[in-house]
Amino acid sequence: MRSLEIGDDCLVLAQRLAEWVTYAPTLEEDVALANLSLDLLGQARALLSRVGDEDELAYLREPSAFRNCLLVEQPNGDFAHTVVRHLLYSAFLFELYGGHPEDDVAAKGVKELAYHRDYAALWAVRLGKGTEESHRRMSAALETLWPFTAELFEDEPELRRPWDAYVGRVLAEAALAVPECAQRSGGRKGEHTEHLGALLSELQVLHREHVGARW
Amino acid sequence: MTLWEVFVRPRRGLSHVHAGSLHAEDAQLALRHARDLYTRRQEGVSIWVVPAGEITASSPDEKDAFFDPAGDKPYRHPTFYELPEGVRHL
């Protein structure tokens, strides 16, 4: 498994989800999103530690040195965007981890990701089939985020088929149509959207201002 | 949103115990919220969620009528038996 790429995916998505803390629609959802974030942060730490010093990697790299896919750095938007992003990404990571039972991070992570995928799918169906407005917001989120899906499979094309099957089933149940749109990529080469810079400046500000700070 | 009461079974062989309550739109989400809120530290092996409105509870006003009459009936306690030697967990 590619520790740097997947470790960066987990770190960036964990940070995105953590942005919801104290802002989520309900207290219950706040804790749920924080739990998802902490699962991913744990995986990020384990994976990045294989590459080098986890703190240096997280806090001292410029955006262009990050190898995460573009999907995970996309802003939270409304709750629909967060649900769609999480469905698309967790379905991918679930398949990836599932193919590496010999890897301890993947073997533990696949159980966590099974829950993430299920959680996102439950919300996708509820919002997709909820009210006119929730359906409209889900469709808009899908339009915005679908262009970042092909990049997931650049290095693991064999995961596309099971991913398509799962995501397709959820979207069908949610009465949502797969949009047709041009695809974007570049994250794995360090060519990121403008959103990553802002995310990292918040993630890294404390460490950069107070080097070696401890609680 | 509906209020749900959460019951968690800490281990196999024990009963579900009331852990707290939460808000959720439906039973499936209530179950997942319960997992996140009440079993974060491996507190459980099984969860029940019950709509709070479905629970019929005794009222504090009925306390005397309900519970006091049992107070002077010690013969209902299994304390008049000799415990056979070697029996544990009784």
pLDDT in tens, A41-98: 999 999 999 999 999 999 999 999 999 999 999 999 999 999 999 999 999 999 999 9
- Minimal CA separation from B29 to chain A, in Å: 8
Q: Answer whether A126 touches B (CB < 8 Å).
A: yes
pLDDT in tens, A107-157: 999 999 999 999 999 999 999 999 999 999 999 999 999 999 999 999 999
A163 touches A91 (CB < 8 A): yes
pLDDT in tens, B28-50: 999 999 999 999 888 899 999 99
Domain membership of residue A84 (yes or no) is yes
A10 touches A57 (CB < 8 A): no
Name the nearest CA neighbour of B33 among B46, B23, B43: B23
CB contact under 8 A, A35 and B29: no
Q: Answer whether B31 touches A (CB < 8 Å).
A: no
Q: Answer whether A122 touches B (CB < 8 Å).
A: yes
State the residue range of the domain holding A159: 3-209
ipTM here:
0.80
Domain membership of residue A22 (yes or no) is yes
Domain membership of residue A103 (yes or no) is yes
Domain membership of residue A104 (yes or no) is yes
Q: How many domains does chain A have?
A: 1
A160 touches A153 (CB < 8 A): yes
CA distance A44 to A93: 12
Helix or strand (DSSP H, E) at A116: helix A104-128
Domain membership of residue A214 (yes or no) is no
**Confidence at residue A215, expressed as pLDDT on a 0 to 100 scale:** 74
CA distance A31 to A24: 9
Angle at A115 between CA A39 and CA A101, to 5 degrees: 75
CB contact under 8 A, A119 and B32: yes
| Token pair of A132 as six digits | 């006119």
This prediction's pTM = 0.89
User: What CATH number does the domain containing A131 carry?
Assistant: 1.20.1260.10
**Block residue for tokens 């009461």:** B5
DSSP SS3 for A67 = coil
